[in-house]
Amino acid sequence: MAADFAMLRQRMVDSQIRTVDVTKLAVLAAFLTVPREKFVPEKIKELAYTDEAIPLTASRAGGRGRYLMKPAALAKLLQAADIKLEDVVLDIGAGTGYSAALLSKLASSVIALEQDEKLAAVANENMQKGGYDNVAVVSGPLAKGYAEEGPYDVILLEGSVDFIPEGLFAQMREGGRLVVAEGHGNSAVARVYMKEDGVVSARRVFNLAINPLEGFQKTPEFVF
């Protein structure tokens, strides 16, 4: 029997997202509206609404694979970003486009940046099929951001990082926010960086264990 994805979507919001203090109605509505199963690889589509990160690519030599973030983690980051309808958003590490589709419901326009060409192609197709007309999928190194369409009101990094390149702060608009999880595993912390009078400051919002984002990890140093 085919899965009832609408029911599973409602259950995801009620049992995974509301239970972690996500209360912003626009965020909840976006998760109820966007069909997550459309952004998951076909062979594991039945797992679309599990409370887990969904693998999008296999692990690479010397690196990690890419994942669709756990729904609750993504919802908490979107709520922390305090996205307004007039905002322009840069989504870094857009994967197959699920986060960009959610952001399209919250913001004026979204630049979905993806460096994996296959994922970018899938994301672009998903945007067209889903009618997410205010999303543009672009390709390029994640760590460089996408200055061509900046500055941005909100920058979202889709995975945990060891560092934030200075170039990303330069792409923040005055009054803008950059939302990210810094660190590893259970010790990782979600922070919101804000730019006011040209100065960037940060506030800690909650602990958040999510998969690392490719290109934002420090290279281990060899010690004699």
Kindly indicate the confidence band of residue 5, based on its pLDDT and cuts at 50, 70 and 90.
very high
Q: What average pLDDT score do residues 131-149 get?
A: 97
Asked if the model's pLDDT at residue 174 lies above 50, the reply is yes
Which residues are CB-neighbours of 8 under 8 A, at least 6 positions away? Answer: 48, 49
Sign of CA dihedral 183, 187, 192, 193: negative
Number of structural domains, the chain? Answer: 1
Residue 128 lies in a domain: yes
Q: Average pLDDT over the chain, rounded to whole? A: 93
Residue 223 lies in a domain: no
Kindly indicate the confidence band of residue 62, based on its pLDDT and cuts at 50, 70 and 90.
very low
Q: For the domain that residue 152 is a member of, what is the CATH number?
A: 3.40.50.150
**Alpha-carbon 15 to chain mean position:** 20
**SS3 call for 122:** helix
Kindly indicate the confidence band of residue 61, based on its pLDDT and cuts at 50, 70 and 90.
very low
How far is the CA of 121 from the CAs of 100, 137, 138, 153, 187, in angstroms? 14, 8, 9, 25, 34
Asked if the model's pLDDT at residue 26 lies above 50, the reply is yes
Q: What average pLDDT score do residues 205-213 get?
A: 94
The whole domain housing 87 covers 5-207
Asked if the model's pLDDT at residue 60 lies above 70, the reply is no
Q: Are strands 189-196 and 172-182 parallel, antiparallel or unpaired?
A: antiparallel
Residue 98 lies in a domain: yes
Stretch among 19-28, 55-64, 79-88, 149-158 having the lowest mean pLDDT: 55-64
Element (H, E) at 156: strand 152-161
Asked if the model's pLDDT at residue 219 lies above 70, the reply is no
Residue 142 lies in a domain: yes
Residue 20 lies in a domain: yes
Kindly indicate the confidence band of residue 40, based on its pLDDT and cuts at 50, 70 and 90.
very high
Residue 92 lies in a domain: yes
Residue 216 lies in a domain: no
Residue 221 lies in a domain: no
Stretch among 8-12, 67-71, 200-204, 211-215 having the lowest mean pLDDT: 211-215
